[in-house]
Amino acid sequence: MKRILAAAALLALSGGAAAQAPQPTRSFNAVYSISGRGVEAGEFLYGVKFENGAYEATARRRMTGMVAMLVGSAQNYSYSARGRVTPQGLDPEAYRHQGGKRNRLVTVDFTGAQPVTEANPVMGMGNPPATAAQKAGTVDQVTAIASMIVAEGDPCSRTVRVLMDGRSRFDFVLRPAGKVRLNTRAYRGEAIRCSVAFRPIAGFPDPQEAATLTFLFARTDSGLYAPLRIEMPTDIEQVGVAVLEAKSYTVT
């Protein structure tokens, strides 16, 4: 569950979002609930702004209720990322997160030939660690979400090459899975459904298995796609399918 929730919150979620110049200033902000078997366990806040050929994104995850009583701040994190909007997609320059049991600060510099990660306190880089070739052309998870929000064309027809937290390397392979009617606190209407294959590659601290997730998006008047819901199976019987669902969102 830690792997899936982090990936989702992380929402998990780059995908070749094409940008055409000139582009107006646009932004997306949302508040998501994190739940399992209908019980809300936490909250995830995400915001991104696209302006003058660049983007800046921030996110925050915190556990609430009984889960917060059990784990304290061990699963609370803040995130940020920034980079350029190019014709080929979003090109990250810097990523940062801080939190967890040790309040570890992790930064990733994407401006060189390959991403360079620094962590304080120092962390292991997985078993096996991701190679230079595996890291090439990747984005952080905060940028990955932004890439899907600003996607041109079908948001479900893309592969997301993610270097999560500067360490864990995986792909999200999105494919169209029809449309559904959604009736939630944040949205009523037709939603675009993506079937998402989680493919672990390297850099994980513990063994991983492939999994299939579901993402739901709404196309907004601004042209941005609003992530509405993420459904992800876990290996924890008491949790079952973990769900990230938008409680509210704004698009400008």
Residue pLDDT, tens place only, 78-133: 999 999 999 989 999 999 999 998 999 999 999 999 999 999 999 999 999 999 99
Computed on alpha carbons and rounded to an integer, the radius of gyration of the chain in Å comes to 17
Interval 131-157: pLDDT, tens:
999 999 999 999 999 999 999 888 999
Structure confidence by residue, pLDDT tens digits, 165-189: 999 999 999 999 999 999 999 999 9
Find residue 218's DSSP bridge partners.
Answer: 226
Q: How far, CA to CA in Å, does 234 sit from each of 34, 153, 231, 237? A: 13, 30, 10, 8
- Does 14 score more than 50 pLDDT? no
Q: How far apart are CA 66 and CA 70, in angstroms?
A: 6
Q: Which amino acid is at 223?
A: G
Specify the amino acid at residue 57.
A
3-state secondary structure of 88: coil
Residue, of 10 and 173, whose pLDDT is higher = 173
> Quick check: helix, strand or coil at residue 145?
helix
Q: Per 3-state DSSP, what percentage of the chain is helix, strand, and coil (rounded to 5)?
A: 10, 55, 35
3-state secondary structure of 104: strand
- pTM for the structure as a whole: 0.88
41 contact partners, CB below 8 Å, separation of at least 6: 34, 35, 63, 64, 65, 66, 67
